[in-house]
Amino acid sequence: MTFRATVLTLYPDMFPGPLGASLAGRALSERTWTLDTWNIRDFATDKHRSVDDTPAGGGAGMVLRPDVLASAVDSVADNRPILALTPRGAPLTQARVRELAAGEGVILLCGRFEGFDERIFEARDIEPVSIGDYILSGGELGAMLILDACVRLLPGVMGAASSGEEESFEQGLLEYPHYTRPVTWEGRTIPEVLRSGDHAKIAAWRHEQAVNDTRLRRPDLIERHGGASQAPPSGARRRDTKADLK
């Protein structure tokens, strides 16, 4: 099944942009996923093709008009979820990305200026999504980011190298730290345990590192997942991507 992405934007020329390169780009040319972009301005109705107007109640900037947004959304809507990029949305999570990637695709609505007239969220089934607690100049980079996160999970895109299930966030923790050759670099040596060949010990060490780093850098994750009670990854399952470091 092909994952279909539709993007509604004032800057369709920004796409595919970085999504045309590397894994996502190859998957796009192999039609593992498809991308179509629509210019929101094409749904304007007045002779100036205006898509925005001044904020009711005053204040700086311009607001995207609900009537124009609705025509754009209605022209592409089908069974796929519709996500609007906005810092007022719920933060995107890997769990939501997994759900999206398992579906038929996604419709992404990119904001500009001060953002969307709020009534669009009442009048249409649109999920407001944030990509983090900072402000971008537009939703396009956020849309690309969501698509990148989804596409890498599509069957065949990442290959056998990584199932992704040990990665950061998948178990409510950051991933453990990685090392590769040279074994000693600038006087720093790869932790001994990783060179021991003892896969149970390695799994336990990695889990401990993951918990420590998460506590230190992302205490919010520990909190959200009910303390650091996570079990270590099942048994001594080894990664099969690389020969042991000797």
Q: Which residues bind ligand SAH (CB under 6 A)?
A: 85-88, 110-112, 114-115, 130-132, 134-136, 138-139, 142
C-beta of 143 vs 173, nearer to ligand SAH: 143
Alpha-carbon distance of 51 to 65, in angstroms, equals 6
Alpha-carbon distance of 77 to 14, in angstroms, equals 22
In the complex, minimum distance from the CB of residue 74 to ligand SAH, in angstroms, rounded to a whole number: 19
In the complex, minimum distance from the CB of residue 72 to ligand SAH, in angstroms, rounded to a whole number: 14
C-beta of 148 vs 213, nearer to ligand SAH: 148
Place of tokens 């607001």: 63
In the complex, minimum distance from the CB of residue 242 to ligand SAH, in angstroms, rounded to a whole number: 36
Alpha-carbon distance of 52 to 170, in angstroms, equals 40
C-beta of 84 vs 202, nearer to ligand SAH: 84
Measured from each CB, the residue nearest to ligand SAH is: 111
DSSP secondary structure string, 99-110? HHHTSSEEEEE-
Alpha-carbon distance of 83 to 149, in angstroms, equals 14
C-beta of 141 vs 204, nearer to ligand SAH: 141
C-beta of 84 vs 194, nearer to ligand SAH: 84
Alpha-carbon distance of 67 to 73, in angstroms, equals 10
C-beta of 145 vs 194, nearer to ligand SAH: 145
Residue 183 is classified by DSSP as S
Alpha-carbon distance of 69 to 82, in angstroms, equals 12
In the complex, minimum distance from the CB of residue 159 to ligand SAH, in angstroms, rounded to a whole number: 30
In the complex, minimum distance from the CB of residue 61 to ligand SAH, in angstroms, rounded to a whole number: 7
CA atoms within 13 Å, Cβ hemisphere of 71: 12
The helix/strand/coil state of 22 is: helix
- Rounded CA Rg of the chain: 22
In the complex, minimum distance from the CB of residue 179 to ligand SAH, in angstroms, rounded to a whole number: 33
